[in-house]
Amino acid sequence: MSVFVTVPGTVVAPGLRVNQRSWRAWLSWAPLVVGWAAAPALAQSAAPAAPAPTRTNECATPGPGWLWCDDFEQDRLKQYFEYDGADGAFARAAGVGVDGSYGMRVRFTQGQESAGALHLAVGKVPSEYFRPVDAGTAIYRELYWRLYVRDQPGWVGGAGYKLSRAMSFATPKWAQAMIAHVWGGDERDSVYLQLDPVRGTDGPGTLRTAGYNDFGHFTWLGRKRGTTPLFDASHVGRWYCVEAHAALNDAGLANGVFELWVNGNLEAKETGLNFLGTFSGYGINAVFFENYWNKGAPATQERYFDNIVVSTQRIGCSE
Protein backbone atom coordinates (compact mmCIF):
# COMPACT_ATOMS: atom_id res chain seq x y z
CA MET A 1 0.00 0.00 0.00
CA SER A 2 1.41 3.42 -0.97
CA VAL A 3 0.71 6.44 1.23
CA PHE A 4 0.93 9.92 -0.30
CA VAL A 5 1.16 13.07 1.80
CA THR A 6 0.09 16.19 -0.13
CA VAL A 7 0.22 19.90 0.51
CA PRO A 8 -2.61 22.39 -0.24
CA GLY A 9 -3.42 22.65 -3.93
CA THR A 10 -1.38 19.61 -4.96
CA VAL A 11 -3.02 17.52 -7.71
CA VAL A 12 -3.39 13.90 -6.61
CA ALA A 13 -5.39 12.72 -9.61
CA PRO A 14 -6.59 14.30 -12.85
CA GLY A 15 -9.38 16.75 -12.12
CA LEU A 16 -9.10 16.33 -8.32
CA ARG A 17 -7.79 18.94 -5.91
CA VAL A 18 -7.55 18.86 -2.17
CA ASN A 19 -8.44 22.12 -0.46
CA GLN A 20 -6.86 23.25 2.77
CA ARG A 21 -9.72 21.94 4.96
CA SER A 22 -9.72 18.48 3.38
CA TRP A 23 -5.95 18.39 3.55
CA ARG A 24 -6.09 19.09 7.28
CA ALA A 25 -8.78 16.47 7.76
CA TRP A 26 -6.75 13.87 5.88
CA LEU A 27 -3.62 14.77 7.83
CA SER A 28 -5.45 14.04 11.11
CA TRP A 29 -6.02 10.47 9.90
CA ALA A 30 -2.52 10.02 8.44
CA PRO A 31 -0.86 8.62 11.60
CA LEU A 32 -3.44 5.84 11.76
CA VAL A 33 -3.05 5.02 8.07
CA VAL A 34 0.73 5.05 8.21
CA GLY A 35 0.73 2.98 11.39
CA TRP A 36 -1.56 0.37 9.83
CA ALA A 37 0.55 0.19 6.67
CA ALA A 38 3.82 -0.15 8.59
CA ALA A 39 2.57 -2.70 11.14
CA PRO A 40 3.79 -5.82 9.29
CA ALA A 41 7.27 -4.34 8.82
CA LEU A 42 7.48 -3.30 12.47
CA ALA A 43 6.41 -6.75 13.58
CA GLN A 44 9.07 -8.30 11.36
CA SER A 45 11.82 -5.98 12.64
CA ALA A 46 10.88 -6.79 16.21
CA ALA A 47 11.70 -10.48 15.69
CA PRO A 48 14.90 -11.44 17.59
CA ALA A 49 18.01 -11.41 15.42
CA ALA A 50 20.69 -14.08 15.54
CA PRO A 51 23.54 -13.02 17.84
CA ALA A 52 26.49 -11.49 16.01
CA PRO A 53 29.88 -13.13 16.46
CA THR A 54 31.97 -11.53 19.18
CA ARG A 55 35.34 -12.15 20.76
CA THR A 56 33.67 -14.59 23.14
CA ASN A 57 32.05 -16.85 20.52
CA GLU A 58 33.94 -16.31 17.28
CA CYS A 59 34.40 -20.03 16.63
CA ALA A 60 30.67 -20.22 15.86
CA THR A 61 31.35 -18.30 12.61
CA PRO A 62 34.78 -19.31 11.26
CA GLY A 63 36.52 -16.94 8.89
CA PRO A 64 37.91 -17.71 5.41
CA GLY A 65 40.79 -20.18 5.51
CA TRP A 66 40.45 -21.07 9.18
CA LEU A 67 41.82 -24.51 9.97
CA TRP A 68 41.36 -24.31 13.73
CA CYS A 69 39.60 -22.07 16.21
CA ASP A 70 39.45 -22.34 19.98
CA ASP A 71 37.65 -19.64 21.97
CA PHE A 72 37.48 -22.11 24.92
CA GLU A 73 33.72 -21.72 25.25
CA GLN A 74 33.72 -25.45 24.50
CA ASP A 75 36.30 -27.87 25.85
CA ARG A 76 38.43 -28.72 22.80
CA LEU A 77 41.60 -29.63 24.70
CA LYS A 78 41.54 -33.28 23.59
CA GLN A 79 41.80 -32.20 19.95
CA TYR A 80 45.33 -30.90 20.43
CA PHE A 81 47.77 -33.73 19.86
CA GLU A 82 49.36 -32.77 23.17
CA TYR A 83 47.95 -30.77 26.05
CA ASP A 84 50.32 -30.24 28.96
CA GLY A 85 48.35 -28.96 31.93
CA ALA A 86 51.45 -28.83 34.16
CA ASP A 87 49.59 -30.30 37.15
CA GLY A 88 46.86 -27.67 36.94
CA ALA A 89 49.09 -24.68 36.21
CA PHE A 90 47.62 -24.39 32.69
CA ALA A 91 43.86 -24.95 32.72
CA ARG A 92 40.63 -23.92 31.01
CA ALA A 93 38.67 -21.70 33.38
CA ALA A 94 35.55 -19.53 33.43
CA GLY A 95 35.86 -15.76 33.67
CA VAL A 96 39.54 -15.48 32.68
CA GLY A 97 39.03 -15.01 28.91
CA VAL A 98 38.27 -11.87 26.93
CA ASP A 99 35.18 -10.02 28.16
CA GLY A 100 34.89 -12.43 31.10
CA SER A 101 34.53 -15.54 28.91
CA TYR A 102 36.23 -18.92 29.20
CA GLY A 103 39.96 -18.91 28.58
CA MET A 104 43.18 -20.64 29.58
CA ARG A 105 44.72 -19.62 32.90
CA VAL A 106 48.50 -19.90 33.21
CA ARG A 107 49.79 -19.88 36.79
CA PHE A 108 53.55 -19.66 37.31
CA THR A 109 54.90 -20.21 40.79
CA GLN A 110 58.16 -18.53 41.69
CA GLY A 111 61.05 -20.40 40.08
CA GLN A 112 58.79 -22.51 37.82
CA GLU A 113 60.10 -23.05 34.30
CA SER A 114 57.36 -25.00 32.47
CA ALA A 115 53.74 -24.00 33.07
CA GLY A 116 52.06 -25.99 30.29
CA ALA A 117 51.44 -25.90 26.53
CA LEU A 118 49.00 -26.62 23.71
CA HIS A 119 50.44 -28.51 20.71
CA LEU A 120 48.34 -28.42 17.53
CA ALA A 121 48.98 -30.30 14.27
CA VAL A 122 47.63 -29.52 10.79
CA GLY A 123 48.26 -30.95 7.34
CA LYS A 124 50.58 -33.78 6.37
CA VAL A 125 52.57 -35.12 9.34
CA PRO A 126 55.26 -37.83 9.62
CA SER A 127 53.47 -39.90 12.28
CA GLU A 128 49.91 -40.70 13.38
CA TYR A 129 50.89 -39.49 16.83
CA PHE A 130 50.51 -35.87 15.74
CA ARG A 131 46.72 -36.23 15.06
CA PRO A 132 46.11 -33.21 12.79
CA VAL A 133 42.84 -31.35 13.27
CA ASP A 134 42.18 -31.19 9.52
CA ALA A 135 42.23 -33.98 6.90
CA GLY A 136 45.97 -34.41 7.41
CA THR A 137 46.89 -34.38 3.72
CA ALA A 138 47.71 -30.76 2.82
CA ILE A 139 51.25 -29.41 2.66
CA TYR A 140 50.93 -25.85 3.93
CA ARG A 141 53.56 -23.54 2.52
CA GLU A 142 52.30 -20.68 4.65
CA LEU A 143 50.18 -20.29 7.78
CA TYR A 144 48.81 -17.55 9.97
CA TRP A 145 48.23 -18.08 13.69
CA ARG A 146 46.79 -15.81 16.35
CA LEU A 147 46.11 -15.76 20.06
CA TYR A 148 44.98 -13.26 22.64
CA VAL A 149 47.28 -12.95 25.64
CA ARG A 150 46.99 -10.98 28.88
CA ASP A 151 49.31 -10.74 31.86
CA GLN A 152 47.84 -10.00 35.27
CA PRO A 153 48.26 -6.46 36.65
CA GLY A 154 51.59 -6.26 38.44
CA TRP A 155 53.22 -8.91 36.21
CA VAL A 156 57.02 -8.77 36.41
CA GLY A 157 59.91 -10.32 34.52
CA GLY A 158 59.11 -9.38 30.93
CA ALA A 159 57.75 -11.71 28.26
CA GLY A 160 58.54 -14.93 30.07
CA TYR A 161 60.51 -16.25 27.08
CA LYS A 162 58.34 -18.78 25.19
CA LEU A 163 54.93 -17.89 23.76
CA SER A 164 54.34 -19.53 20.36
CA ARG A 165 56.04 -21.19 17.42
CA ALA A 166 55.13 -22.82 14.11
CA MET A 167 57.28 -25.55 12.61
CA SER A 168 57.67 -28.32 10.08
CA PHE A 169 58.04 -31.76 11.65
CA ALA A 170 59.93 -33.95 9.20
CA THR A 171 60.33 -37.30 11.04
CA PRO A 172 58.46 -39.31 13.68
CA LYS A 173 61.25 -38.34 16.11
CA TRP A 174 60.24 -34.67 15.81
CA ALA A 175 63.15 -33.53 13.65
CA GLN A 176 62.29 -29.98 12.52
CA ALA A 177 62.92 -28.73 9.00
CA MET A 178 62.14 -25.14 10.07
CA ILE A 179 60.77 -23.18 13.03
CA ALA A 180 59.14 -19.76 13.23
CA HIS A 181 59.48 -18.63 16.86
CA VAL A 182 57.39 -15.86 18.41
CA TRP A 183 58.79 -15.39 21.86
CA GLY A 184 60.16 -12.97 24.42
CA GLY A 185 62.99 -10.68 23.53
CA ASP A 186 66.56 -11.06 24.72
CA GLU A 187 67.61 -9.63 28.09
CA ARG A 188 67.81 -6.03 26.92
CA ASP A 189 64.51 -6.39 25.05
CA SER A 190 62.65 -8.63 27.47
CA VAL A 191 59.41 -6.61 27.45
CA TYR A 192 58.93 -7.08 23.69
CA LEU A 193 57.98 -9.99 21.45
CA GLN A 194 60.35 -10.92 18.67
CA LEU A 195 60.51 -13.10 15.57
CA ASP A 196 63.32 -15.66 15.55
CA PRO A 197 63.28 -17.93 12.46
CA VAL A 198 65.34 -21.13 12.21
CA ARG A 199 66.33 -23.50 9.42
CA GLY A 200 66.71 -27.20 10.25
CA THR A 201 68.16 -28.15 6.87
CA ASP A 202 71.36 -27.11 5.19
CA GLY A 203 71.16 -24.32 2.63
CA PRO A 204 70.32 -26.58 -0.31
CA GLY A 205 67.60 -28.42 1.65
CA THR A 206 68.98 -31.63 3.18
CA LEU A 207 67.48 -32.27 6.63
CA ARG A 208 70.14 -31.93 9.33
CA THR A 209 68.20 -32.10 12.59
CA ALA A 210 67.64 -35.50 14.23
CA GLY A 211 65.09 -34.57 16.90
CA TYR A 212 63.27 -31.77 18.68
CA ASN A 213 65.29 -28.61 19.44
CA ASP A 214 68.42 -30.06 17.88
CA PHE A 215 70.32 -26.81 18.43
CA GLY A 216 73.56 -28.21 17.09
CA HIS A 217 72.01 -28.43 13.63
CA PHE A 218 69.99 -25.19 13.65
CA THR A 219 70.79 -22.25 11.42
CA TRP A 220 69.44 -19.07 13.03
CA LEU A 221 68.24 -16.68 10.35
CA GLY A 222 68.20 -13.46 12.39
CA ARG A 223 65.77 -12.12 14.97
CA LYS A 224 63.50 -9.10 14.56
CA ARG A 225 62.01 -7.32 17.57
CA GLY A 226 58.49 -5.91 17.78
CA THR A 227 57.75 -2.31 18.80
CA THR A 228 55.15 -2.54 21.59
CA PRO A 229 56.52 -3.24 25.10
CA LEU A 230 53.60 -5.54 25.97
CA PHE A 231 55.24 -6.75 29.15
CA ASP A 232 56.41 -3.58 30.87
CA ALA A 233 54.65 -2.17 33.93
CA SER A 234 52.55 0.32 31.95
CA HIS A 235 51.23 -2.30 29.48
CA VAL A 236 50.48 -5.41 31.53
CA GLY A 237 46.90 -6.10 32.57
CA ARG A 238 45.47 -5.61 29.04
CA TRP A 239 44.49 -8.06 26.33
CA TYR A 240 46.69 -8.13 23.24
CA CYS A 241 45.85 -9.71 19.89
CA VAL A 242 49.07 -11.34 18.64
CA GLU A 243 49.15 -12.70 15.08
CA ALA A 244 52.05 -14.20 13.13
CA HIS A 245 52.53 -15.34 9.54
CA ALA A 246 55.21 -17.59 8.10
CA ALA A 247 55.60 -18.32 4.39
CA LEU A 248 58.17 -20.89 3.29
CA ASN A 249 60.65 -20.09 0.55
CA ASP A 250 60.28 -21.48 -2.94
CA ALA A 251 62.81 -24.15 -3.93
CA GLY A 252 66.15 -22.60 -4.73
CA LEU A 253 65.10 -19.11 -3.62
CA ALA A 254 65.51 -17.10 -0.44
CA ASN A 255 62.05 -15.55 -0.47
CA GLY A 256 60.49 -16.78 2.77
CA VAL A 257 58.54 -14.32 4.92
CA PHE A 258 57.90 -14.01 8.66
CA GLU A 259 55.60 -11.31 10.10
CA LEU A 260 54.16 -10.19 13.45
CA TRP A 261 51.11 -8.06 14.20
CA VAL A 262 50.02 -6.77 17.61
CA ASN A 263 46.44 -5.48 17.83
CA GLY A 264 46.32 -5.48 14.05
CA ASN A 265 49.45 -3.34 13.60
CA LEU A 266 52.44 -4.77 11.72
CA GLU A 267 55.31 -4.68 14.23
CA ALA A 268 58.02 -6.82 12.66
CA LYS A 269 58.66 -8.34 9.24
CA GLU A 270 61.46 -10.44 7.83
CA THR A 271 61.85 -11.21 4.15
CA GLY A 272 64.44 -12.97 2.01
CA LEU A 273 64.48 -16.04 4.26
CA ASN A 274 65.77 -19.45 3.20
CA PHE A 275 63.65 -21.45 5.64
CA LEU A 276 64.41 -24.97 4.32
CA GLY A 277 66.12 -24.92 0.93
CA THR A 278 64.46 -27.32 -1.51
CA PHE A 279 63.00 -29.53 1.24
CA SER A 280 59.37 -30.26 0.34
CA GLY A 281 58.34 -33.47 2.11
CA TYR A 282 56.28 -31.56 4.67
CA GLY A 283 55.02 -28.04 5.07
CA ILE A 284 54.25 -26.11 8.24
CA ASN A 285 52.38 -28.76 10.19
CA ALA A 286 52.43 -27.78 13.87
CA VAL A 287 51.77 -24.69 15.97
CA PHE A 288 52.61 -24.53 19.68
CA PHE A 289 51.16 -22.17 22.29
CA GLU A 290 53.37 -22.46 25.32
CA ASN A 291 54.53 -21.21 28.69
CA TYR A 292 58.19 -21.81 29.37
CA TRP A 293 60.42 -19.54 31.43
CA ASN A 294 64.04 -20.39 30.73
CA LYS A 295 65.39 -19.21 34.08
CA GLY A 296 62.24 -19.77 36.10
CA ALA A 297 59.51 -17.25 36.87
CA PRO A 298 60.73 -14.44 39.15
CA ALA A 299 57.42 -14.39 41.08
CA THR A 300 54.16 -16.28 41.49
CA GLN A 301 51.85 -14.73 38.91
CA GLU A 302 49.30 -15.48 36.19
CA ARG A 303 48.69 -14.84 32.51
CA TYR A 304 45.82 -15.84 30.25
CA PHE A 305 45.25 -17.10 26.69
CA ASP A 306 42.11 -16.91 24.56
CA ASN A 307 40.82 -16.97 20.97
CA ILE A 308 43.38 -19.14 19.22
CA VAL A 309 43.04 -19.37 15.42
CA VAL A 310 45.21 -21.09 12.78
CA SER A 311 44.48 -20.19 9.18
CA THR A 312 45.71 -20.15 5.59
CA GLN A 313 44.61 -16.49 5.31
CA ARG A 314 45.06 -13.35 7.36
CA ILE A 315 43.00 -13.58 10.56
CA GLY A 316 42.92 -10.13 12.14
CA CYS A 317 41.46 -9.27 15.54
CA SER A 318 37.86 -10.00 16.51
CA GLU A 319 35.51 -7.17 17.49
Contacts of residue 178, defined as CB under 8 A and 6 or more positions apart, other chains included, come to 167, 168, 197, 198, 199, 200, 201, 248, 275, 276, 284
CB atoms within 10 A of CB 257: 18
* pLDDT at position 143 over 90: yes
What's the pLDDT tens digit per position in 73-132? 999 999 999 999 999 999 999 999 999 999 999 999 999 999 999 999 999 999 999 999
* pLDDT at position 141 over 70: yes
Q: Is the pTM of this model over 0.75?
A: yes
What's the pLDDT tens digit per position in 100-114? 999 999 999 999 999
Q: Which of 11-15, 152-156, 227-231 has the lowest mean pLDDT?
A: 11-15
What's the pLDDT tens digit per position in 288-317? 999 999 999 999 999 999 999 999 999 999
What's the pLDDT tens digit per position in 146-163? 999 999 999 999 998 999
Contacts of residue 44, defined as CB under 8 A and 6 or more positions apart, other chains included, come to none
